[in-house]
Structure 1
Amino acid sequence: MTHHETDDEMIHCAGCGVKLQLDDPGKLGYVPEQALLKEPVICQRCYRIKHYNDASAITLNQDDFLRLLGHIGSTKSLVVNIVDIFDFEGSMISGLARFVGGNPVLLVVNKIDLLPKVTNLNRIVNWVQKQAKQLGLKIVDVVLCSAKRNLGFDRVIEAIGEHRDGCDVYVVGATNVGKSMLINRLIADFSDLEAELTTSQYPGTTLDIVKIPLDDGKSIIDTPGIVYKHRLTELVPKRDLARIMPDRTIKPLVFQLNEQQTLFFGGLARFDFVKGERQSFTCYIASGLKVHRTKLERADELYAEHLGELLTPPRKEDAGELPPLTKHAISIPKGGKHDVLISGLGWIKLNSEAGAQLVVHAPKGVKVIARDALI
């Protein structure tokens, strides 16, 4: 800091009270050095909220987040949980049901514009409701939207109005689900912009939250995004994010595979069709990611020789940064349509109901699951 290191007001933000730090712009309390000369000293996040209406995505760890959620259970409020349809299971907050108490949960499913145009949206709503129920969540409503394309947003605003019942509204979500876009829309739609946005701290944490005052004296409360290390999007270098996060409608890729064939998704993941009758598999992934097909017996060798060249991302210089690939053996039963999701990368749909023995290789810690087909 400076020679004022010991002065309490020097090391805490005058806006939200969070401890100030100069090292990491991605973490809470970051302040650029030149801002220390200003009076009062406020962190970059408070500055942005105040001047640009930008509730920027600052993240926090699981423990702080769970403490914050625990607090919501003791209030009477509506919880708006924003999830990403492209990574539904990866972006769901694990254990949310335990923490929200008796409060209603409105599930806002973002990035719906990524799904192919022919998708039946009612079916998607039913699918989401079914998945939420399996997770033990009591959902009052599911709203599909695209913050980016501004689709379905009026319905989000309407649903919040319908279900909030004169209470505060807490907005929760993982990182990269489009939460800040939504918050900015809420600020524009719900709050008199003359009203001062306030940042305040939760008791017992160094955690700042943004309160958007509503006309009836209640607030919309934005909580920082939670980082889930089980999503590939949190592990790849920032510059490769654009290649794995789709920004437009996904064009599904279909592969006819015989058993003992393998698909590589760049060098980030590998899908082995170990045993089963010849069938087709549809890959729902970003168009920036190249898929390579090979024989299972050649897969190890191909990976060892071509990681970072033919198989990218990761680039050669980043190859050591990612956790090593680990195996997930998945047995898909006969009957019913199934997907295999690799969190943050997309999913592979099995088009046959003949069943299959699969092995999926993904960086250690990344969530890989089989589920009922989304589409």
Structure 2
Amino acid sequence: MKCEGCGAELQCENETLPGYIPREVLESKVLSGEKILCQRCFRARHYGKLMPVHLKDFSQQLREIINSMNIDIVVWVLDITDFEGSYDSMISAILRDVRKIFVVNKIDLLPRAVTVKEIEGWVRKNLNEESFEIILTSATKNYGLKKLFESISKFQRVLFIGVTNVGKSSLFKKITGADVSITPFPGTTLGLIHAKIFKTNLYDSPGITTGRRVIDLLKPDSQKKLVPVKHLSRYTFKPEKDRVIFLGGLCRLDVNFESEMRPIFQVFASESVKFHETSETKADELWRKLYGKLLTPPFDPEELSMESLNFQEKTFELNVAEELSIAGLGWLSVRRGPLEICLKTIDGIYVRKREALINPLRKERRT
């Protein structure tokens, strides 16, 4: 018997494991024929709290599930606001010989100046895949759902996959009408959830945690804060030489340039990420004093103490129409350059210089 919200096997023995429900509650629900939710789903839905449980890494099971269940096609859901964090090379390797559709979610969070055509073209250039279909969606705005349904209804067995926080289960619920648990917390889905539309069997899978995103290092309550909901914050900087810009307490940008004309760039991130500019001479002391306070995330200095973290440092040369993306946090987009950025963030976080998604030279508007 499974929880109807997250798909975990129900059990009454261990509250720290997925699917826990008190025995008396389970027996009562079975007798009354009511919908059965595990304690974790019940509290997340009704009280906005997510109980911590020990989770297995679903990526290790992915290949076995695809083969054993004779999956016809995989719907890989990506987050356009965190492309580097949601398109992971490990997952790509697992799915190398698997037929798939790429669903690019949350396009409503981008500035409206970016057209649908431009988004699709940019994604197609940045996917390291031989042949694929791309569908742009917004689960919150119901955009692209009809096209997605038409594409997957041609198959008998469809598996939805993706890293945590991309909106995969929201799309699954909108397409199928299944009463899955949808919360702002990461890792809500713990087991396979099945729904059927006509002859098509659809399966929602647990979100994958890669460990290469800033958001992966935070606790569930903090991850919830870091996921953008209504919009992305966009802040414009025109720094002088030898200035330092903090993106929360986990990312530091030391800016330098040779030109007499100051560079201009914008930083895009969740509204909960606090930006702060200071001088190079004050930066080290400010980082220590305001870490987890003014500089968030982390949202609690005890959550990830600076002393426990190893920071990596890498220098990037950037020019107009180039961006620097920090997986699970946000990205910097150059409006006037060139400039040099020395980026310091946690060791293991994926950082990538890329062609601009938010291109400063565009004139079209989204249609």
TM over 0.5, shorter chain: yes
Counterpart position of 2:248: 266
Matches of 2:321 and 2:236 in 1, distance apart? 15
Note closer, same or farther for the CA distance 1:242–1:46 as it changes in structure 2 (3 Å cut). Answer: closer
Counterpart position of 1:180: 169
Which segment drifts farther, 179-188 or 91-100?
A: 91-100
TM-aligned CA deviation for residue 108 of structure 1: 0.7
TM-aligned CA deviation for residue 241 of structure 1: 3.7
Map Cα deviations across residues 179-237 of structure 1 (whole Å, 9 max, x no partner): 1111111222xx8x9xxx9xxxxxxxxx8412212322x41121111123222223234
Counterpart position of 2:18: 28
Matches of 1:76 and 1:37 in 2, distance apart? 35
Note closer, same or farther for the CA distance 1:315–1:39 as it changes in structure 2 (3 Å cut). Answer: closer
Residue in structure 2 matching 1:152, options 140, 144, 148: 144
Matches of 1:276 and 1:22 in 2, distance apart? 61
Query: Which blocks of at least 5 consecutive residues in structure 2 are unaligned?
Result: 181-189, 359-367
Is 1:59–1:224's contact at 8 Å kept on the other side of the alignment?
no
TM-aligned CA deviation for residue 98 of structure 1: 3.3
Counterpart position of 2:102: 107
Specify the SS of the correspondent of 1:107. strand
Aligned amino acid, residue 367 of structure 1: Y
Residue in structure 1 matching 2:294, options 310, 314, 320: 310
Counterpart position of 2:212: 230
Residue in structure 1 matching 2:77, options 75, 79, 82: 82
Aligned amino acid, residue 269 of structure 1: C
Note closer, same or farther for the CA distance 1:321–1:139 as it changes in structure 2 (3 Å cut). Answer: farther
Aligned amino acid, residue 28 of structure 1: P
Counterpart position of 1:283: 267
Residue in structure 2 matching 1:141, options 85, 110, 133: 133
Residue in structure 2 matching 1:209, options 192, 207, 226: 192
Alignment TM-score, normalising by the size of structure 2: 0.77
Counterpart position of 1:247: 229
Specify the SS of the correspondent of 1:226. coil
Matches of 2:270 and 2:220 in 1, distance apart? 16
Counterpart position of 2:160: 171
TM-aligned CA deviation for residue 306 of structure 1: 2.4
Matches of 1:23 and 1:157 in 2, distance apart? 37
Is 1:72–1:99's contact at 8 Å kept on the other side of the alignment?
no
Matches of 1:76 and 1:219 in 2, distance apart? 9
TM-aligned CA deviation for residue 280 of structure 1: 0.9
Is 1:330–1:370's contact at 8 Å kept on the other side of the alignment?
no
Counterpart position of 1:3: none
Map Cα deviations across residues 227-280 of structure 1 (whole Å, 9 max, x no partner): 232222232344444543221232421101234211112323211114453311
Query: Identity, % of aligned pairs?
Result: 27
Query: Which blocks of at least 5 consecutive residues in structure 1 are unaligned?
Result: 1-8, 198-206
RMSD: 3.6
Note closer, same or farther for the CA distance 1:240–1:17 as it changes in structure 2 (3 Å cut). Answer: closer
Is 1:260–1:296's contact at 8 Å kept on the other side of the alignment?
yes
Note closer, same or farther for the CA distance 1:304–1:97 as it changes in structure 2 (3 Å cut). Answer: closer
